[in-house]
Chains A and B, each alone.
Chain A
Amino acid sequence: MFRYFARRIIQSVFLILGVVFIVFFMIRINGDPVSLMISRDATMEQREAFRKAHGFDRPVSVQFADYLVRLSQGDLGNSLQYRLPASALIQQRLIPTFELAFSTLIFIAVFSIPLGILAGLYPNTPFDLIARFIALLGQTLPSFWLAMLLIFFVAVPIDILPTFGRDGFASLILPMIALGLGGVGQMLRLTRATVLEVRHENYIRTANAKGVSPRNIATRHILLNAALPLISVLGIQFTYLLGGSVYIETIFSWPGLGTLLEGAINNRDFPLVQAITFIIALFAISINLLTDLIYMLLDPRIREATG
């Protein structure tokens, strides 16, 4: 088990290095990062001054080495637009983004797991049909459009729920639904499929033959065995939510990483774009690692197989 731990951690370190590589070269795809960041009508002198000031006149290898050294010291570069360290800007935005992503994750789990289990235990009943319909909606409604529909047809006419800003639990409700519906759809499908699959395993048949009550079979045998895959998918969901929050945050003016990223893109503030991309990827990789480790600790089959 320890060796598996170590291997996954080393793997993650390499992934992070790969992300650093991509983030660094991303703004150099078209050859000249300066032309991306400076306005089109800047004079030659202004361009050269900008190039010198931000070190783009040095050889690329030197720039990359410098970038790596700074990154290892926790320096994510400076925002052009705010003239502040990117790390400070990101720090202010982390909590709102995590607040939204975590509440959405809880919303997804609380809503879709019970319904998915019912649908899997009783296929082709009304539970199942409702679950499948919601799953279909989750798959087909774009989150940004759903967010706008919620504002147009729920928030404005009823006027109880706030439509923008971050101000207590009420302001979380609409963004949470808009951000989470896609995940609810996926989770519903998965929970239903897992329960359906587990139902036909040999050990369920054995339990049945032994005379275990249907209720005990459902809770102790089916649910416990279906729980593991669901945990790892919830982990993956979380990284989707970090991405999806770009739309939802901008629509609801939620003061998180998503709005920061959108603003940075609109202002061609590429150092900040790089920093945010790196941080989001870093979280995604760490969360994947964490879910893998939790999965392993919980599943005796893997725990024993890997020694």
Chain B
Amino acid sequence: MITRLTPAQQRRQALRQILPKDFGGVLGILITAIIVGVALFAPLIAPYGIKEGSRRDAKLPPAWYEGGSTAHLLGTDVQGWDIYSRILHGARVSVTVGVFGVLLASIIGLTLGTLAAYFGGWVDMLVNAFVNVMLSIPYLVLVIVVATVFGRSLVNVILIFGITDSPVFIRLVRGEVLRLREQEFIQAAESLGAQTGRILGLHIMPNLIGILITLATFEMSAMIFYEAGLSFLGLSVPPDIPSWGNMVSAGRRFLITGGNSWIAVYPGLAIALTALGVNLLGDWLRDVFDPRSK
């Protein structure tokens, strides 16, 4: 027997199906939302500007250390700048690089992947050659080397990640398009005379989008990770822009004495927390879009 649900019940049921049932999913959404929120509103929440303070206040410890004060919750760096405020601002670099880098990589991936799958022949060969060669160089080395050739700017960093990460997307899209083309519903549409554009937009794209979003989430967390790594080596955004990697790197000079560890510790914690949140979000999305993986 089919019981009819009222629209309100239907909505509630739909919502219940989308919302995560596990703790990890909730945590992932929560952390990711907080970090995006911080990135958007950093100037409003941060108690200090990114370059506010003088060297007289340099290397103040966090509030709960001896000699620390609540004026600088997580202490100050060598310039006397407030670490807590700079961490909040640092979310902007990470989120911008993550979002736009993944966006660029997915656009390249969708275009080249579909082209390769549909045209086959030498187009497919060229695209495949590009993908295989790029993937054969260890990613970190590839990014580091490309970054040395490009100058240090936010736009360049987005370009670097968008281009170097695109092979993963190309490979996924190509494989999925090839697989979908063999399915009955696409062949039915083709035999009904549907044009390629219509098939791609109406039949293939909707079936591709879930797995693409899942990959994009994982790649975003990877990009945030790698951006921090590039910053750490001084190859990402200029040193005066607060990025988490730049901030961790600023604490390197204290490694020998082992003092002032907070300068490096808390910005690194921000990277770890972001990676945790976005990864959990990705795990949950994978379960949502691909129930088999559970």
What residues make up the interface of A, taking CB atoms closer than 8 Å to B? 14-15, 18-19, 21-22, 26-27, 29-30, 36, 136, 139-142, 144-145, 148-149, 151-153, 155-157, 163, 239-240, 242-244, 246-247, 250-251, 261-262, 265-266, 268, 270, 273, 277, 280-281, 284-285, 288
Any chain A CB within 8 A of the CB of B207?
no
Any chain A CB within 8 A of the CB of B1?
no
Contacts of A21 in B (CB 8 A): 133
Which of A19, A140, A242, A270 contacts B272, CB < 8 Å? Answer: A140
Number of A-B contacts (CB under 8 A): 123
Interface size on B, residues (CB 8 A): 41
Contacts of B144 in A (CB 8 A): 246, 261, 265
Bound CA–CA A142/B273 (angstroms): 11
B137 touches A277 (CB 8 A): yes
Which of B139, B228, B264 contacts A148, CB < 8 Å? Answer: B264
Bound CA–CA A21/B126 (angstroms): 14
Q: Tell me the dominant secondary structure on chain B's binding face.
A: helix
The interface centre, meaning the residue of B232, B233, B235, B255 with most chain A CB atoms within 10 A of its CB, is B255
Any chain A CB within 8 A of the CB of B99?
no
**Which of B32-40, B85-93, B145-153, B197-205 has 4 or more CB atoms under 8 Å from chain A?**
B145-153
Any chain A CB within 8 A of the CB of B276?
yes
CB of B218, distance to nearest CB on chain A (Å) = 10
CB of A55, distance to nearest CB on chain B (Å) = 19
The interface centre, meaning the residue of A140, A155, A239, A273 with most chain B CB atoms within 10 A of its CB, is A140
Bound CA–CA A151/B248 (angstroms): 14
Any chain A CB within 8 A of the CB of B11?
no
The interface centre, meaning the residue of A36, A145, A281 with most chain B CB atoms within 10 A of its CB, is A145
What residues make up the interface of B, taking CB atoms closer than 8 Å to A? 129, 132-134, 136-142, 144-146, 148-150, 225, 228-229, 232-235, 248, 251-252, 255-258, 261, 264-265, 268, 271-273, 275-276, 279
A149 touches B268 (CB 8 A): yes
Residue of A nearest to B137 (CB): A281
Contacts of A153 in B (CB 8 A): 261
5 A-B residue pairs with CB within 8 Å: A142-B228, A240-B140, A251-B255, A277-B142, A280-B138
Contacts of A155 in B (CB 8 A): 258
CB of B143, distance to nearest CB on chain A (Å) = 9
Bound CA–CA A152/B149 (angstroms): 33
A152 touches B279 (CB 8 A): no
Given contacts A153-B261, A268-B148, 17 further A-B contacts (CB under 8 A): A18-B133, A19-B136, A26-B149, A139-B279, A142-B225, A142-B229, A152-B255, A155-B258, A163-B255, A243-B141, A262-B233, A266-B234, A270-B148, A273-B148, A280-B138, A281-B136, A281-B137
CB of A18, distance to nearest CB on chain B (Å) = 3
Contacts of A152 in B (CB 8 A): 255, 258, 261, 264-265
B276 touches A247 (CB 8 A): no
With A142-B229, A247-B232 given, is the CB distance from A277 to B145 under 8 Å?
yes
CB of B291, distance to nearest CB on chain A (Å) = 17
